[in-house]
Amino acid sequence: MSGVLPNQTIARMITENQIAAARSLKQDQIQPASLDLRLGTVAYRVRASFLAGAGARVSDRLQEFEMHRVDLSEGAVLEKGCVYVVPLMESLALPQDVQAVANAKSSTGRLDLLTRTITDGGVEFDRIPAGYHGPLYAEICPRSFSVLVRPGMRLNQIRFRKGHAVLDDEALKRLHKTVPLVDGPAVIDDGLGFSVDLRPTNSTLVGYRAKPHTGLIDLDNIAHYAPADFWEDVHSRNGQIILDPGAFYILVSREAVTIPPEYAAEMAPYLAMVGEFRVHYAGFFDPGFGHASAGGSGSRGVLEVRCHEAPFVLEHGQVVGRLVYEKMADVPTELYGAGIASNYQGQGLKLSKHFKL
């Protein structure tokens, strides 16, 4: 059956060595519709971001672009503004009818860690063609904060699919009539549109902006850091803010989103016609996100926003991106927020799990 492969199928792929690893895979790496990927023991500091290109191996291109190597065994710092390539512990031997797509994990995106997956022969980031046999690498560029990493840390994840899984607009409209996907009118145009909330109830706090000069973040430290040491509060009293070029913001969607158990979704990272900014580095929404069957009643989408060329006025209710829904090949036996560690079920405006509430 076509669709996104659920956790039980991913587990079977591991037992059949379609997914292999330098260290034994852990059960909690398997999410309802994806697999967490782990950093290996070395990071290569490179001169620039790159793709292997058709017929080439990443290891060969590293010889061309490597500046120096960083041993991660005892923990090491990846510095803000630098580009690193880290071989991942996992490798793939995909069947000819299974392809994959990777993305940063939620906490990774909320720290402004640009993390993308590259492969041998790859001509696109985060896209793994059907039948791929070979290693996986993470390209990591800390944009706002320097971070301390160790082998085994999970910064990105991979989702597998067979055949065509994306719902077209007509199918999405039918689904919304059956199971409301947002708590209000649905803007459906090449996916489910979502807008930004700049008029929160009983508050003027609409988001956070990363401070330009901060200390180090150890990614193993959960609920450890004071937000004020790393973030500036962003307030609005008129339903608008001005985005500064190069600045990184955490905002929140006006809509509360629901992902039914039979579906998964991905947030499109950039929508050129709404402004010169990028929304959301971490785009996977798992089955059960915000859904009543998994203890949710709709969950806001946290928006990771970086403005590009010129200052840009963002206004309350402005559509800033879209969710693309995909059908699952089978209903997962585990759902987001139901019996598994899910940090962002029922979320509103929220920083990554590394910061104190």
Task: Give me the domains of the chain, ranges plus CATH numbers.
Answer: 3-162 (2.70.40.10), 169-327 (2.70.40.10)
What's the pLDDT at 294? 45
Please, are residues 233 and 203 in contact by the beta-carbon 8 Å criterion? Answer: no
Distance (Å, rounded) from C-alpha 98 to C-alpha 214? 43
Sequence-distant (6+) residues with CB within 8 A of 203 are none
**Burial class of residue 57 in the structure, from the number of CB atoms within 10 Å of its CB (0-12 exposed, 13-18 middle, 19+ buried):** middle
pTM, rounded to two decimals: 0.92
Q: How much is the pLDDT for 233?
A: 97
pLDDT of residue 310: 86
Contact 100, 92 (CB under 8 A): yes
Exposure class string for 1-25: b at 16+ Cβ within 10 A, else e: eebbbbbebbbebbeeebbebeeeb
Tokens linked to 26: 């852990």
Sign of the alpha-carbon torsion through 318, 125, 147, 29 = positive
pLDDT of residue 275: 58
* Mean pLDDT in order along the chain per 10 residues (357 residues): 95 97 93 97 97 96 96 97 98 98 91 95 96 98 97 97 94 93 88 92 94 96 97 97 94 91 82 62 80 62 85 90 92 76 60 93
**What local confidence, expressed as pLDDT, does residue 344 receive?**
47
Contact call for residues 328 and 166 (beta carbons, < 8 A): no
Cβ proximity of 321 and 266 under 8 Å? no
pLDDT on residue 273: 56
Half-sphere exposure of 290 (CA within 13 A, CB side): 22
